[in-house]
Amino acid sequence: MKILHLNTEKTWRGGEQQTLYLLESLKQRHITSHLVCQPASPLAERALAAGIEVFPIAMRGETDLAAGRYLRKLIRKFNYDILHSHTSHAHSLAYLASIGYKTCRLVTRRVDFSIFRRSFLRLSALKYRRMADYYIAISHKIKQVMVADGIAADRIFVVHSGVDLQRFEKDSGDHLIAEFNLEPDEKVVINVAHLAGHKGQQFLVRAIPLVVEKFPGVRFFIVGKGELLTELKALAASLGISRKLIFTGFRSDVGAFYKIANLFVMSSVQEGLGTAVLDALAQGKTVVATACGGIPEIIRDGETGRLVAPADPKAMADGIVEMLSRPAAARAMADEGRTMVKNYFSVDVMVDKNIEVYERVLTYG
């Protein structure tokens, strides 16, 4: 079995981490896997460091003819069984490059947006219905959206993302206590996500004054960067909570924030699955999250965490207050969540499921 993985992203986010996890594990299992990605990208650097065979290609959009010609040369040289695309632009490039070859076109989809969300003249229908043989959706919710958009259900496999259970085990949050002048009795609530509209941090910010009314000794951290940083800071200032809410920007020590957290909050209004939620549970943290996208496939309300209505600051505040007020119940949910992640959402489980898909699509022919 020979697989060519394609990822066109220039930055490092959850999808690139999942791609790297998969490549590293396939290498350990002696399954031939090569990677095409952007030159000098974080994924290229980390994959090379892991001993992955990497072909850095500048890919300028999904119809880049020069990139397509290079891909065709690779397909002809290595005779890949599967082209596994990990981004939307890679999806199109893989199709154009493989016309005339028998290689199977497989695409992983990580978002729960409709395929028509940014479609010009509904051309996405052609792309998604005709330009791939099979799909991997990282949640059942994404599969439901794709089926509603007209893609046959029997062409879509569900493989949840996986997390490294030991990723943050050696991290310590001690330096953060001094850096942010945290008091011993302060409760810490964190959100780790890109600052974008669909991540819903504006609703979390609006929930904070309601929480502070009940728990004055609480500090919130929003960890990450993104296009909404300035807007969110202005909102926090207008609500008078700038001393209670810290925007950390990008941090390389994100594991340290999980260590000091009493509670993890996911405020998304759209979410394919939510690997940050999985990371929090893997660290034994209690989670309050919105009931949107694939999140309910991780958080079972009252068992592995608390689910609240999306885009609803009061519901978010009530969930946070409840978990801070009921430490024993919160601890029990966190313990149950950690066990669930270990059993169903580890990297090993994710890789096993991907290999099952590879074997099935090659059997189908």
Polymer length in residues for the chain: 365
Task: Note the pLDDT of residue 121.
Answer: 47
What is the distance between the alpha carbons of residues 345 and 350, in angstroms, rounded to a whole number?
7
Task: Note the pLDDT of residue 120.
Answer: 53
Task: Tell me which residues of the chain have a pLDDT lower than 50.
Answer: 121
Burial class of residue 223 in the structure, from the number of CB atoms within 10 Å of its CB (0-12 exposed, 13-18 middle, 19+ buried): buried
Task: Note the pLDDT of residue 116.
Answer: 82
- The identity of residue 221, as a single letter, is F
pLDDT per residue as tens digits for the range 179-209: 999 999 999 999 999 999 999 999 999 999 9
User: 3-state SS of the chain?
Assistant: CEEEEEECCCCCCHHHHHHHHHHHHHHHCCCEEEEEECCCCHHHHHHHHCCCEEEECCCCCCCCHHHHHHHHHHHHHHCCCEEEECCHHHHHHHHHHHCCCCCEEEEEECCCCCCCCCCCCCCHHHHHHHCCCEEEECCHHHHHHHHHCCCCHHHEEECCCCECCCCCCCCCCHHHHHHCCCCCCCEEEEEECCCCHHHCHHHHHHHHHHHHHHCCCEEEEEEECCCCHHHHHHHHHHCCCCCCEEEEECCCCHHHHHHHCCEEEECCCCCCCCHHHHHHHHCCCEEEEECCCCHHHCCCECCCEEEECCCCHHHHHHHHHHHHHCHHHHHHHHHHHHHHHHHHCEHHHHHHHHHHHHHHHHHHC
Task: Note the pLDDT of residue 177.
Answer: 95
Task: Note the pLDDT of residue 7.
Answer: 98
Task: Note the pLDDT of residue 122.
Answer: 63
In the chain, the domains with their CATH numbers are 2-162+346-364 (3.40.50.2000), 174-344 (3.40.50.2000)
Name, in order, each residue with C-beta under 8 angstroms of 87's C-beta and a sequence gap of 6 or more: 6, 7, 8, 9, 15
Task: Note the pLDDT of residue 279.
Answer: 96
Report which of 17, 79, 83 is spatially closest to residue 50, judged by C-alpha positions.
17
Tell me how far CA of residue 109 lies from CA of 112, 159, 164, 271, in angstroms: 8, 10, 20, 12
Quote the pTM value: 0.92
